Amino acid sequence: MTGAKEAHTEPKRDITLRVHRFNPQVDGKPYFDDYTIQVEKGITVLRALNYIKEHVDASVSFRAFCQAGICGSCGMRINGISKLACTTQVWDELDRCKEPGVIRIEPLRNMPLIKDLIVDMDPLVDKMKHYSNWVVSSMPESRMGKKEFLVSEEEFQKYDKATDCILCASCVSECTILRAHKEYVSPAILLKSYRMNVDSRDSIHDARLGELVKDHGVWDCTHCYRCQETCVKHIPIMDAIHGIREDALEVRGVKDSSGAKHAEAFMSDIEKKGKLVEATLPIRTNGMAWTLQNLLPMAMKMIMKRRTPPPPPLVKPAKGIKKFREMFREMTEHVRAEKKSHKK
Ligand code: SF4
Ligand code: SF4
Ligand code: FES
């Protein structure tokens, strides 16, 4: 794959791509094929796959287009982490191989598999539609095209990074909640929703927010940060998730959903005691009826095993709580002041 007559000075070596294979029309279950090729330094995983497709096995299927980290088509799991094949260097991956010289290539997770390395993006697109991931203009149609919408530099800063998203679905593939619940909104959709909701040209903020706080929405995120760690564009996805939550608490209030109540109870405990009062957290989050119906059997087991968390009066404030409370209040006031100044 070195381009025959070119006088390369880069070092070369044999590597093996262990590629996930599955053709639903003929295969009963997935398997892996090993392709050993010679590559020089500077070759991307996508170029290595292209070489295999052109010279070794034309049946290997994957999706790619721009070859420049722009279109988001070539997302796949390389040595166990979701990333773009066109911006991933083979030589960098060699340091991360479990088996020396063998790079494992698999499809993205959390999306239905179509063939080999190709996953079905339709469920993600359906979620984009469900959460209205586009700007619905507030400008009357009669004025469209006659007047510009001006966006201030300050406003643009709020969603500048979010607009870098290329919908590669790497974060979706890594999301820990999606592994268990396919209905979960997903990090990429939360990012897009945030971006639309802070855009002054948009007119459906409240309706979109209303969907985001329902079941499988923003409150289901566990804050594991996995999506942000793997984002191929280094977008601070968690800022968007926190932004939506803060917006929900402010606009809709804490009584709006169990997620909001959980956050409120959590903050209240931390402010008062510097630690959680776990025994009453489910009641304060979901109410007595829900707690009795859903957690009573588990509570009985915990009582039998003497593993129940202490009742509220026995939860002593953490050491240094006075100083902590001062810091907590300062931080809360600072956040409020910041928000006020952003709104101006
Ligand atoms: S932080 Fe939330 S959205 Fe991101 S991977 Fe974890 S659970 Fe998913
Ligand atoms: S947020 Fe990052 S990882 Fe997720 S789809 Fe957008 S660019 Fe890809
Ligand atoms: S081929 Fe377009 S991002 Fe990789």
CATH code of the domain in which 134 resides: 1.10.1060.10
Residues 6+ apart with CB under 8 A from 256: 213, 248
Q: Which of 86, 118, 150 is the last residue of a domain?
A: 118
Query: If we measure between CA atoms, which residue out of 204, 235, 218, 221 comes closest to residue 132?
Result: 204
Residues 207 and 131 in one domain: yes
pLDDT digits (tens, 9 = 90+) for 170-187: 999 999 999 999 999 999
**Is residue 276 predicted with pLDDT exceeding 90?**
no
pTM, two decimals, is 0.83
Residues 267 and 190 in one domain: no
Atom 4, ligand 1: residue with shortest CA distance: 227
pLDDT value of residue 159 = 94
Which ligand 1 atom sits nearest the alpha carbon of residue 222? 7
- Does 4 map to a domain? no
Residues 162 and 280 in one domain: no
How much is the average pLDDT of 18-41? 96
Atom 5, ligand 2: residue with shortest CA distance: 167
- Does 7 map to a domain? no
Domain count, the chain: 3
Confirm if 224 and 168 have CB atoms less than 8 A apart: no
**Is residue 335 predicted with pLDDT exceeding 80?**
no
Residues 6+ apart with CB under 8 A from 286: 258, 261, 294
Atom 2, ligand 2: residue with shortest CA distance: 231
Other Cβ atoms within 10 Å of 49 Cβ, number: 23
Expressed as residue numbers, the domain containing 199 is 121-252
Residues 296 and 215 in one domain: no
- Does 3 map to a domain? no
What percentage of the chain's residues is helix, strand, coil (to nearest 5)? Answer: 50, 10, 40
What is the whole-number distance in angstroms between the Cα of residue 36 and the centre of ligand 3? 23
Is there an atom of ligand 1 within 6 Å of 225 CB? yes
Is there an atom of ligand 3 within 6 Å of 73 CB? yes
Residues 46 and 132 in one domain: no
What is the whole-number distance in angstroms between the Cα of residue 164 and the centre of ligand 2? 8
Is there an atom of ligand 3 within 6 Å of 49 CB? no
